[in-house]
């Protein structure tokens, strides 16, 4: 028998919960709803909502859409999106995360005060695109200390971060920027509901022989938190669904911990746990 535990701190953050609840409520009423980009970076959850009537559209498709309703996901959007919606008579269900909206306002204000904005984040990420949009595309996006060293900018500089980035990396970059720029302002804009998961996952990973980390491959947060688990427990395996699980990983192990990203639905982690229980524990009972 193998002990199976799901990390109760894993799963959707409140911003994702809010967006999905808004989508489900409208789908119950109308049976169809457009969503600008994947509502969450998890293919299985997107597939579940598509089966309920959610239609994922791109920004290019938004420009041709008129007289209907569109959901803005938790990642937030740049001002251009709201302008298009107004011109095309689109009703927006705005599920932008309050933490992201507050960050957008701070970035816009700093830019209006003629400060050069530097954003620690992933280029092209939906949240980062929304932040850069607050600066008329003038913000600089970096993802590492190495990219910071290559920056050639003058004047007053303000640093912000994508809400799901590593706290350790942010503070390393802060230290480097304090040395590099005379007029520098630092803003810790990482979501604490996300950053607090790192120490929780460190504890969780140390408790078990093997860790199964469940996340969509598009999730930046998933990649970061999987790395957190792997540093504590090298016997950590990343999967997106149960069909990627190799039972050989669990042979001879006494315990397995199942955890995930802020974009991983609890039902998917439970599906993995049930599969392990069925294939290992229940089969062992039958054979004995």
For 61, other C-beta atoms within 10 Å of its C-beta total: 12
Residue 248 DSSP one-character state: G
Q: Are 179 and 7 in contact (CB under 8 A)?
A: no
Q: What share of the chain is helix, strand, coil (3-state, %, to 5)?
A: 50, 20, 35
| CA distances in angstroms from 175 to 149, 150, 159, 170, 172, listed in the order given | 12, 16, 11, 9, 5
The CA distance from 206 to 211, in Å, is 9
The stretches of the chain forming alpha helices (DSSP H) are 14-30, 43-51, 59-62, 79-87, 98-112, 126-133, 145-149, 167-180, 192-195, 197-207, 220-232, 266-276, 283-287
Contacts of 280 (CB under 8 A, 6+ apart): 2, 247, 250
> Is-catalytic flag, 127?
yes
Q: Comparing C-alpha atoms, which of 214, 252, 270, 286 is closest to residue 42?
A: 214
The strand pairing partners of 5, in sequence order, are 257
First to last CA, the chain: 11
Contacts of 44 (CB under 8 A, 6+ apart): 216, 240, 241, 265, 268
Tell me which of 127, 138, 178, 244 is the catalytic residue. 127
Residues with catalytic annotation?
Answer: 127
């Amino acid at each position: 028998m193998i002990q199976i535990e799901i990390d109760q701190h894993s799963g959707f953050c409140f911003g994702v919960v809010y967006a999905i609840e808004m989508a489900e409520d409208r789908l119950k009423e109308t049976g169809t709803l457009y969503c600008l980009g994947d509502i969450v970076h998890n293919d299985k959850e997107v597939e579940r909502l598509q089966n309920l009537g959610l239609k994922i559209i791109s920004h290019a498709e938004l420009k041709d859409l008129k007289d209907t309703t569109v959901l803005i996901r938790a990642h937030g959007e740049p001002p251009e999106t709201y302008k298009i919606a107004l011109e095309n008579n689109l009703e927006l269900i705005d599920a932008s995360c309050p933490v992201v909206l507050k960050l957008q306002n701070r970035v816009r204000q700093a830019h209006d005060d003629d400060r050069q904005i530097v954003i620690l984040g992933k280029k092209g990420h939906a949240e980062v695109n929304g932040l850069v949009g607050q600066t008329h595309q003038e913000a600089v996006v970096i993802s590492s200390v190495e990219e910071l060293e290559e920056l050639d900018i003058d004047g007053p500089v303000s640093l912000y971060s994508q809400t799901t980035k590593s706290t350790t990396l942010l503070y390393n970059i802060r230290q480097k920027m304090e040395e590099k720029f005379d007029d520098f302002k630092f803003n810790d804009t990482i979501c604490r509901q996300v950053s607090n998961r790192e120490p929780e996952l460190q504890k969780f990973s140390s408790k078990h022989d093997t860790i199964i980390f469940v996340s969509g491959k598009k999730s930046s947060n998933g990649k970061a938190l999987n790395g957190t688990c792997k540093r504590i427990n090298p016997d950590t395996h990343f999967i997106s669904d149960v069909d990627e699980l190799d039972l050989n990983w669990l042979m001879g192990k006494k315990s397995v911990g199942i955890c995930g990203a802020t974009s991983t639905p609890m039902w998917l982690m439970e599906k993995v746990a049930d599969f392990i229980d069925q294939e290992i524990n229940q089969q062992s009972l039958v054979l004995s």
